[in-house]
Structures are given as C-alpha cells and as structure tokens.
C-alpha cells in the first residue's frame, strides 16, 4: 500500500509539472500570437497611409483640382483628402479611379455607432463633395486618428490645412489602435511622411521651402479616446 501511494504521489508530481510546463508554453504562444497580430495590423495601416501619401499628386496649374483638404470633425477627429496615384486598397467596383483618384481618410461610424478608420475614393476629375463619398473600412481596430500638416514656408505643424494653393511639406499621422483585450489601453503610433514634390511645387510659385522642421522630429497629436472606448464597450 505504501509503495502504491508513493507511486501515485510521484505520478501526480510529474503530471503537475508537465501541465505547468504545457500551460506556460501555451500562454507564451498566445501572447506571441497576439503581439504578432497586433504588429501586423499596425504595420498594414501605417504602410497604407505612407504609400498613399508618397504617391500624392499636385500640379500648380490646377490647384483647385489637386488641393489638399484637411479638417477636424468634433467627435471623430481628423479627416484628410488629397489626390494620389496609388491604387492601394482600391475596391474593384471603383477601379475606374485608378491612376488619378481623390482619397479621403478619417474616422467614421457604422450602423451600430462603432467607430472605425475609413477610406473613400472618388475620381479626382469629378470633385465629389464629402457627403457623396462612399466609405470603406480601412481598419476596425483604430479608435482614434489625427493628422498634422507641416507648413512649407515657416515649418510649423498644425491640425488643419487651409491653404488651397499650397501643399504641406509633410503629413504626420497619429493612429490609436484598440487594445487586444478589454481594459488594455490603446497603442498610439505616429509616423510622418514627406509630401512628394512639395519643394518643386513651391519653386513653381517662387517660394522657398523652410528647413526649420523635418520629419525626424515628430510629436504625436493628442486624441481624446474616452468617448470611443465607452461606445465600443456598449457595442460589445
């Protein structure tokens, strides 16, 4: 009987040790998968914003057609639109806009009131108004979006762009990604992208670009996420 009890005890210790090892490995694998998924979703969004901006077009001969439009909407944050030659994330039904489209980026709400980062496309030559845009989901994991614009003449950053006959020297995107689990704070990612051809556009107007600020020095835009987290919690 003593030998049986000893054997059972040893077996129990071995099983407990195996289970603890397996549980630790499983937890580490899940965390690694979550980190990888989080990195992937952030990379896709930020690279999309970067690709669209680096393919932006502007011609001083028709500034009204190519002007950059940047504004802030209460409760949603920044919205920016510009003409780009990139076809990234261009839906098949809108393929006619390939080569020259006005793309808009900003926070939107679905039918349940849950926010998401949206993208809209219209042929640049049509000049459709904002209320005519058809929005698509760029990322449902984004709960906050801010855009800042570097003025090409004095090098300062601002939250709005109100220069119809100029283009910003750079755009700075601040994106808040929802935490993978409830209670986890959003991850804020900031990336600044130089506007292609900005210097040439200024030279055509006889203006010299300021060198006082560069994209190597960035400050994330402050985004109020409190209302978004509450609405997301109610939706869940």
Report pLDDT digits (tens) over 190-216: 899 998 888 888 887 777 777 655 555
Averaged pLDDT for residues 8-36: 68
Q: For the chain, what is the domain count? A: 1
pLDDT recorded at residue 37 = 59
**In a domain? residue 50:** yes
**In a domain? residue 8:** no
Beta-carbon contacts of residue 229 (< 8 Å; ≥ 6 apart):
143, 186
**In a domain? residue 51:** yes
**In a domain? residue 10:** no
User: What is the per-residue pLDDT across 102-147, written as a single tens digit (0 to 9) for each?
Assistant: 889 999 988 888 889 999 887 766 655 656 678 889 998 898 999 9
Q: How confident is the model at residue 178 (pLDDT cuts 50, 70, 90)?
A: confident
**In a domain? residue 29:** no
Beta bridge partners of 174: 146, 190
Give this prediction's pTM: 0.73
**In a domain? residue 22:** no
Query: Range of 40's domain?
Result: 34-235
Place of tokens 């993978």: 180
The rounded percent of the chain whose pLDDT value lies above 90 is 14
Task: Write out 136-148 in H/E/C secondary structure.
Answer: EEEECCEEEEEEE
**In a domain? residue 150:** yes
**In a domain? residue 198:** yes
């Amino acid at each position: 009987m003593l030998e049986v009890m000893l054997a059972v005890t040893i077996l129990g210790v071995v099983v407990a040790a195996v289970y603890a090892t397996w549980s630790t490995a499983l937890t580490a694998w899940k965390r690694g998968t979550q980190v990888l998924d989080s990195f992937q979703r952030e990379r896709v969004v930020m690279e999309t914003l970067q690709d669209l901006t680096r393919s932006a077009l502007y011609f001083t001969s028709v500034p009204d057609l190519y002007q950059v439009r940047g504004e802030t909407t209460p409760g949603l944050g920044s919205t920016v639109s510009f003409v780009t030659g990139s076809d990234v994330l261009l839906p098949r039904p809108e393929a006619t806009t390939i080569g020259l489209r006005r793309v808009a980026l900003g926070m939107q709400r679905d039918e349940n009131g849950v926010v998401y980062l949206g993208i809209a496309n219209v042929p640049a030559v049509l000049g459709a108004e904002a209320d005519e845009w058809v929005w698509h989901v760029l990322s449902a994991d984004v709960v906050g979006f801010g855009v800042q614009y570097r003025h090409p003449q004095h090098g300062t950053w601002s939250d709005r762009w109100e220069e119809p006959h100029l283009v910003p020297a750079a755009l700075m995107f601040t994106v808040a990604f929802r935490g993978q689990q409830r209670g986890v704070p959003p991850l804020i990612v900031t990336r600044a992208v130089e506007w292609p051809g900005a210097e040439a556009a200024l030279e055509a107007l006889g203006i010299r670009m300021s060198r006082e600020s560069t994209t190597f020095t960035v400050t994330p835009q402050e985004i109020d996420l409190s209302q978004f987290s509450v609405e997301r919690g109610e939706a869940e």
